[in-house]
Amino acid sequence: MPFTSPFSRLTLGAGAAVLLIAAAQAEDPAADGGDDRRAGTLEKATFGELPDGRTVDVYRIANANGIEMRVINYGGIIVSLKTPDKHGEFDDIALGFDSLEAYLSDTYRQANPYFGALIGRYGNRIADGRFSLGGETYSLATNDGDNHLHGGQQGLDKVLWQAEPFENDEGAGLVLSYTSEDGEEGYPGRLETQVTYTLTAADELVVDYRATTDKATPVNLTQHSYFNLEGEGSGSILDHYMMINADAFTPVDDTLIPTGEIRPVEGTPFDFTQPTPIGERIEQDNEQLTFGKGYDHNFVLARQDASSGDALLAARVWEPDSGRLLEISTTEPGIQFYSGNFLAGDLTGKQGQAYEHRSGFALETQHYPDSPNQANFPSTILEPGETYRTRTIYRFSAQEEAPGS
């Protein structure tokens, strides 16, 4: 029976042959050794319709090694990400859903885990939903207790982005664009935002962020994918080995707002300078773990060359059964490690498995939380005439032994 796909093939101009599915392969999966992976594809299909009638599209992007991601232009959400284990078997390692309805459901919105979404204008928390800039105080939505979280009620995770597929010498991907008007969610300035996802032939997902404004405004964009390197829906992530390239973290109060202190990780459960199972110390009697109900903290990255604009290693995660290894590099000064503490089994993923407590982790590259109210933190204020640029790289591989062993 011929293979039938809901995706339409994209034609991107001269040189785009690498992105096209071979007709014979589509007709006969056995032509690829019985494997349904495509060697270098970029396809588009309809994912659903928003309540106002606008269409949401999904883009399937794969490289020649079979790594495949699906992205929707609603929220810039990475719906799925399939990578090989140490035996060459592919699994989806990103938590998420197969339908737009699931992302729009009341259950999801109440839980609000931000699966796979682009986050902004300000990733993480701003105390009391307020900050002062240029002699004026701005009030934002308080959607996390008394605090502002991840851009507010209608942050960049809940808007329809314009999507343009592309190919270049690095690989193939999407350019996502959105203009946040002056005053949107309480922020000053008309912010023109562009995020580029590139899936490379080197098995990397490169995320480039760019923004400009016509008024001074805080900007802190990030990506909020949850990972389980054994495969989404496979249970706990507590046996994953985590290394975070950070000698310090920013402790928080009981509402998860940084106190302003930069505290060394040495001698604490936050010391991931050597590969350590996520669950090894997560239940220790520690005030910071109590506040976060586990790990939900910003780590101060050890940028050996602070003047360099290069993306430097921030974190490395390895899962023993699959052998999958995720390495994250970034130009950002911080990374938020969240251990899925509020996943509660009320959301069901793509394999029909409930996402239970700590069944996924997030590593959000960022500037520090509440920076607009913390004078000793690196500034997040973007001025007119400046261009906000950051880059984060996710590298996928697999190996038998733990890194460093």
| Consecutive H or E run containing 23 | helix 23-27
Instruction: Give catalytic status of residue 224 as yes or no.
Output: yes
Closest to 217 (Cα-Cα) out of 189, 180, 248: 189
Closest by Cα among 394, 371, 369, 396 to 382: 371
Distance CA 278, CA 272 (A): 9
Assess contact for 258 and 251: CB atoms under 8 A.
yes
DSSP states along 51-120: TTS-EEEEEEEE-TTS-EEEEESBTT-EEEEEEE-TTS-EEE-B---SSHHHHHSHHHHHH---TTEEE-
Look at phi and psi of residue 281 and say left if phi exceeds 0, alpha if psi is from -120 to 50, else beta.
alpha
d(Cα 77, Cα 71) in Å, to the nearest integer?
A: 6
Residue partners of 341: CB distance under 8 A and separation at least 6:
292, 293, 294, 295, 296, 357, 358
83 with 91: CB under 8 angstroms?
A: yes
Q: Give the single-character DSSP code of 378.
A: P
Q: What is the largest CA-CA distance in the chain?
A: 68
Instruction: Please identify which of the residues 148, 150, 224, 297 carries the catalytic annotation.
Output: 224
Structure tokens at 374: 């913390």
Q: How far is CA 326 from CA 87, 135, 241, in A?
A: 16, 44, 10
Burial (0-12, 13-18, 19+ Cβ within 10 Å), 331: buried
- Where residue 38 falls (left for φ over 0; alpha for ψ -120 to 50; beta otherwise) is beta
Bridge partners for 163 per DSSP: 176
Give the whole-angstrom CA distance, residue 27 versus residue 134. 62
Q: Catalytic: which of 327, 332, 364, 367? A: 364
Q: Beta strand 388-398 with 241-244: parallel, antiparallel or unpaired?
A: unpaired
Instruction: Count other Cβ atoms within 10 Å, centred on residue 182.
Output: 13
Catalytically annotated residues = 224, 364
